[in-house]
Chains A and B, each alone.
Chain A
């Protein structure tokens, strides 16, 4: 069964600090892995998209890594801001591009 596990479930950090979110998956075959940011009450917004051949992708202060051998990905947020408070969702698409979603990591950034 295809699964995507994210950790931690929730995280509280101080403004200006860095943090790393984890995503482990068992989806096979693998097509792509995406990280989304979802603010409360809004739809998810894409941060990064990686295919099998890519092992790192950056979008401003967000950097995602992918290790296709160990089926792990991480999202690193640098110099966090209050606006980074949101849920971060890892999505892995397999054959036929059907997506499997992680439960998300809820990040709270305190001033």
Chain B
């Protein structure tokens, strides 16, 4: 099983700042089959990025994904108030599909 470790656990930033979230895999993620999700309290997760760097439909271009192998990054270029949430990475290249433990992005 591929273990995904996200860092930091909590990130405190202000609107307008740049956010960089990390996801490290215990072994290589095949074909960059990595996704990022955003989850707000009381809501279902929302797909942001798949294939490590492809934005899902309707996702603003301030969200970008990068990385390959074992190291992946989600970058939010300029934080908007609605971006403060919990973010999860997921690998779906090998079974079982696994999620990271999440990074909480909070307002500073």
Q: Are the chains A and B members of one assembly?
A: no
